[in-house]
Amino acid sequence: MSLTSVNPASGEVIGEYPEMSPVEVANIVDNAHEQHLGWRTTSFAERSERIRSVGTVLRERADELAELMADEMGKPLSGGLTEVEKCAWVCDYYAEHAERFLSNEPVESAAATSYVAYRPLGVVLAVMPWNFPLWQVFRFAVPALMAGNAGVLKHASNVCGSALAIEEILLQGGCPEGLFRTLLIGSGQVRSVIEHPLVRAVTLTGSTEAGRAVAAAAGRMLKKSVLELGGSDAYVVLADADLEAAATACVTSRLINSGQSCIAAKRFVVVNSVKERFEQLVVARMEAAVVGEPRQDGIEVGPMARHDLRDELHDQVERSVASGARCLTGGRVPPGVGAFYPPTVLTDVKPGMAAYEEELFGPVAAILAAQDEADAIRIANDSPFGLGAAVFSGDLARAERIAAEELEAGSCFVNDFVRSDPRMPFGGIKESGYGRELASFGIREFVNVKTVVVQ
């Protein structure tokens, strides 16, 4: 069996990768553990030097990596370059801060000496998606490695080239050979990797269904897991909002990565008094987005990563319209090759419709009407997901209260769109998962929080 990469803009097969056997996988895990035993004894200064070097390699290879992502999953080049720079940023961030995040913490007690120490666990398995082929991996791998762990990666089958490039970049930056390895395997082997006795923990970014499967497998083995799952982020637009700025932020978020982002704005919850004007502004901005082949200059929206994903999204649009939603723009599969889908706006979206109940993982915005602030908050929270949310209002104190106290999500922004940042913890609640990545919280997910007492 082999894993296949297909260019979603042309339909051309661009890579065939033989799947590793269970024996090969077990040997890789065994070797990663051996490398971890040496790596965990290195100083933070040495680890920082190597991880900074990884960041340098990323910046040197930025153009090449952006082109690879464009070919494998359709990311426009501008988005690819931004993604590479963000990966380099997370290298710089943890190289600077990891030692402080993991330094011993003295605790007053009756003993002569007592403190909390943070020590690495060992080999961490990462199961990662295709939508941000580099960033999703680096935001896990860099803190895990800086903490003294080893890593093995099961990436999405359509981005094997990116997966192998990540392994190569870490090696080129000076990480020991075998400390971080890519496993070229399908989803059918994930459970057996989790069950390997030297895999100490697992992290997954992906669908809620995949998260349940991985959490169940990790739970059976009593292994730590961190899950960053789907999202249907609600952006609440109140009557006193700057509608021009709100529409720009909402559309920018909705079209990031051609709409294929867990934290993209997906549900625009707008109070009735400004709904019509907001619709006009959103439609104008969605229609102005430049759609095309991802290697071309100036492209904002490329193809979706696979044809089946495009067809699933179109089915959600059609089912929503059949249930009473109105399509203000887009909503038609374009002719020709490529998994393209136009920026689409649905309005009058109500409970029971696909656009209300399901995650729309593509360039489709759903507008939901609310009577007032309280109703808007109720609608925003009426979702099984809880990854990100935003609120737009001219009253900053009011908006901050809603973001901090009312909206049910792991990240809540005021008058801006949600995005991850190495300096801030990232993750969700409800069916969007558990655990946190990034900041001090992320690096402490995969360590032994050890109590040390000296009498």
* Domain enclosing residue 276, as ranges: 233-414
Quick: pLDDT tens for 259-287: 999 999 999 999 999 999 999 999 999 99
Any idea which residues carry the catalytic annotation?
A: 228, 262
- Per DSSP, the chain holds a count of helices (H) and strands (E) of 15, 20
Domain count, the chain: 2
- How large is the average pLDDT for residues 212-218? 98
Residue 194 lies in a domain: yes
pTM (2 d.p.): 0.97
Per-residue pLDDT for 1 more than 90?
Answer: no
* Phi, psi torsion values for 296, nearest 5 degrees: -80, 150
Close Cβ partners of 130 (under 8 Å, ≥ 6 residues apart): 72, 73, 155, 156, 158, 159, 305
* Sequence letter at residue 160: C
Q: Residue 148 is which amino acid?
A: G
Q: Are residues 138 and 268 in the same domain?
A: no
| 316 and 215 in a common domain | no
Q: What is the pLDDT of residues 53-91, one digit of tens each?
A: 999 999 999 999 999 999 999 999 999 999 999 999 999
Q: Is residue 419 in a domain? A: no
Per-position DSSP letters for 170-182, written without gaps between them: HHHTTPPTTSEEE
43 belongs to a structural domain: yes
Share of the chain above pLDDT 70, in %: 100
Q: Let me know if residue 427 belongs to a domain.
A: no
154, containing H or E segment = strand 150-154
On the question of pLDDT at 358 being above 90, the answer is: yes
Condensed to tens digits (0 to 9), the pLDDT of residues 158-201 reads 999 999 999 999 999 999 999 999 999 999 999 999 999 999 99
CA angle (389, 127, 293) in 5-degree steps: 70
Q: Distances from the Cα of 424 to the Cαs of 251, 418, 440, in angstroms?
A: 23, 12, 8
pLDDT at 204 over 90: yes
Find the mean pLDDT for residues 354-359. Answer: 98
Share of the chain above pLDDT 90, in %: 100
Residues 222 and 246 in one domain: no
What average pLDDT does the chain have? 98
Taking only the tens place, the pLDDT of each residue in 84-105 is: 999 999 999 999 999 999 999 9
For residue range 396-413, what is the model confidence (pLDDT) as tens digits? 999 999 999 999 999 999
pLDDT at position 160 is: 98
The answer to the question of residue 307 being in a domain is yes
- Contact between 260 and 361 under an 8 Å Cβ cutoff? The reply is yes
Rounded mean pLDDT of 321-342? 97
Residue 271 within any structural domain of the chain: yes
Average pLDDT of span 215-232: 98
Handedness of CA 174, 176, 178, 183 (dihedral sign): negative
Do 379 and 443 have their domain in common?
no
CATH number where 385 lies: 3.40.309.10
